[in-house]
Amino acid sequence: MEAFGIRVLFLPKFHCELNPIEQCWGYAKRLYRLNPESSREDTLKVNAERALSEIPHICIKRFFNRMWRFVSAYQQGMSGPMAAWAQKKYRGHRVIPSFAVDNADRAAGK
The distance of Cα 47 from the centroid of its chain, to the nearest Å, equals: 23
Instruction: List, run by run, the mean pLDDT of 10-residue segments along the chain (110 residues).
Output: 86 81 93 88 91 95 90 88 86 78 68
Structural domain contains residue 32: yes
The reply to whether 75 and 110 lie within a common domain is yes
The reply to whether 73 and 107 lie within a common domain is yes
Query: Which pLDDT score, from 0 to 100, does residue 63 have?
Result: 92
Task: Assign 3-class secondary structure to the chain.
Answer: CHHHCCCCCCCCCCCHHHCHHHHHHHHHHHHHCCCCCCCCHHHHHHHHHHHHHCCCHHHHHHHHHHHHHHHHHHHCCCCHHHHHHHHHHCCCCCCCCCCHHHHHHHHHCC
Query: Which pLDDT score, from 0 to 100, does residue 59 have?
Result: 95
The reply to whether 73 and 109 lie within a common domain is yes
The reply to whether 39 and 73 lie within a common domain is no
The reply to whether 44 and 78 lie within a common domain is no
Query: Where in the sequence is the domain holding 72, given as residue range(s)?
Result: 68-110
